[in-house]
């Protein structure tokens, strides 16, 4: 029921058409989400290889490349989740009120991981420049703290968020305003 400025009310009815088959667009979004998760897991593996190779068995070219790619890879994935996936999930409706809190928590974790990724970028470049003159134990602890936390986040994204996203995006709910 809509109330106009002059006080009169208008009743509008809404019809929802639900398609249970996935659309090319929705399948594309799920696949892109999956690719971003895979990409982040791969960069975690690269960081683990570096951590395992400290202090003297690290390929410095790989180290620098990973340092440069880290933040862009993480940021692109976070932007996709926050700007594409989260809004789609939020539109699902009131039955997902608890999900809204979860999405806020995930967004908060994204911010923390992006700051952490920037710190790792600096630390790896410093290591490439100064070798074992940097604090190796601290660098190792830093790298492991990052990729272990990131893998936990990614596992949650994959096990909890991706199935919901796939389900929501395979069921399109398009509101249509009926003529009064």
Interface positions with Fe ion (CB under 5 A): 81, 157
Q: Find the shortest distance in angstroms from Cβ 154 to Fe ion.
A: 7
State the nearest-atom distance from the C-beta of 149 to Fe ion, in Å: 12
Rg of the chain on CA atoms, in Å: 22
Shortest separation between residue 83's beta carbon and Fe ion, angstroms: 12
Measured from the CB atom, the residue of 40 and 121 that comes closer to Fe ion is 40
- Of 160, 21, 172, 180, which is closest to residue 88 (Cα–Cα)? 172
Q: Which residues of 74-99 are buried (b: 16+ CB within 10 A; e: fewer)?
A: beebbebbeeebbeebeebeeebeeb
Whole-number minimum distance, CB 43 to Fe ion, in Å? 14
Distance of CA 63 to the CA centre of its chain: 24
Closer residue to Fe ion, CB minimum distance, 46 or 81:
81
The residue (of 84 and 128) whose beta carbon lies closer to Fe ion is 84
For Fe ion, give the closer residue by CB, 78 or 123: 78
């Amino acid at each position: 029921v809509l109330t106009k400025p002059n006080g009169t009310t208008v009743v509008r009815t809404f019809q929802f058409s639900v398609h249970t088959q996935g659309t090319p667009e929705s399948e594309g979004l799920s696949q892109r989400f999956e690719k971003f998760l895979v990409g982040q897991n791969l960069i975690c593996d690269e960081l683990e290889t570096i951590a395992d190779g400290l202090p003297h068995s690290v390929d410095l070219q790989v180290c620098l490349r990973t340092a440069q790619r880290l933040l862009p890879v993480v940021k692109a994935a976070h932007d996709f989740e926050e700007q594409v996936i989260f809004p789609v999930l939020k539109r699902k409706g009131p039955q997902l009120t608890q999900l809204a809190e979860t999405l806020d928590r995930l967004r908060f974790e994204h911010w923390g991981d992006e700051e952490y990724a920037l710190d790792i970028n600096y630390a790896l470049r410093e290591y490439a420049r100064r070798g074992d003159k940097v604090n190796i134990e601290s660098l190792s602890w830093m790298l492991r703290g990052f990729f272990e936390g990131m893998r936990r986040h990614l596992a949650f994204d994959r096990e909890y968020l991706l199935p919901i996203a796939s389900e929501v995006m395979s069921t399109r709910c398009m509101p249509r305003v009926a003529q009064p």
